Amino acid sequence: MKDFILKLISAIHNFLFRISGGRLGARFVGAPALLLTVTGRKSGQPRTVPLLYMKDGDDFIIVASKGGDPKHPTWYLNLEANPDALVEIGSTKVRVRATRVSAEEKAELWPRIVKAYRGYEEYQKKTERDIPVIRLSAR
């Protein structure tokens, strides 16, 4: 049921984001949001999810938290299989390549990530898995 609700919220968010040229849905829970389109590892079809992000230079930093769930989000598994993706911010689209940051880089970024959205700190406490932090760099 939880996954169904998340998919429904994502679909509504994506729709509003796109019809408004990114004006609606550009922020979520006080943090900036983007749309990430990945290729489904099983279906080969494009899959789009709204995610919070943080800028780091020219790169986008995203977090595969899934609210502290014990399993990685599907979009992250898809990125592992195919790291090429598309980011939408407002009406701008950027082709990106995803890489999971190292433990050292995560430790450096984590305080900024938590400052941008405090929920991540709670999500990490909720789960035993190491929540991945992903760098999206323009291709």
- Residue 1's pLDDT is 66
- Residue 17's pLDDT is 74
Better pLDDT: 101 or 30:
101
Give the count of beta carbons closer than 10 Å to the beta carbon of residue 86: 17
Better pLDDT: 23 or 84:
84
Q: What is the pLDDT of residues 107-125, one digit of tens each?
A: 999 999 999 999 999 999 9
Q: What is the pLDDT of residues 13-70, one digit of tens each?
A: 777 777 777 777 777 777 899 999 999 999 999 999 999 999 999 999 999 999 999 9
- Residue 13's pLDDT is 74
- The boundaries of the domain holding residue 61 are 2-138
Contact (Cβ atoms closer than 8 angstroms) between residue 36 and residue 44? no
Span 74-97, mean pLDDT?
Answer: 96
Identify the CA nearest to 77 among candidates 128, 69, 121: 69
Confidence of residue 76 (pLDDT cuts 50, 70, 90): very high
Query: How buried is 64 (Cβ within 10 angstroms: 0-12 exposed, 13-18 middle, 19+ buried)?
Result: buried
- Residue 49's pLDDT is 92
Confidence of residue 137 (pLDDT cuts 50, 70, 90): very high
pLDDT over 80 at 95, yes or no = yes
CATH code of residue 35: 2.30.110.10
> Dihedral sign, CA of 100, 139, 36, 41?
negative
Q: Name the domain count of the chain.
A: 1
pLDDT over 70 at 2, yes or no = no
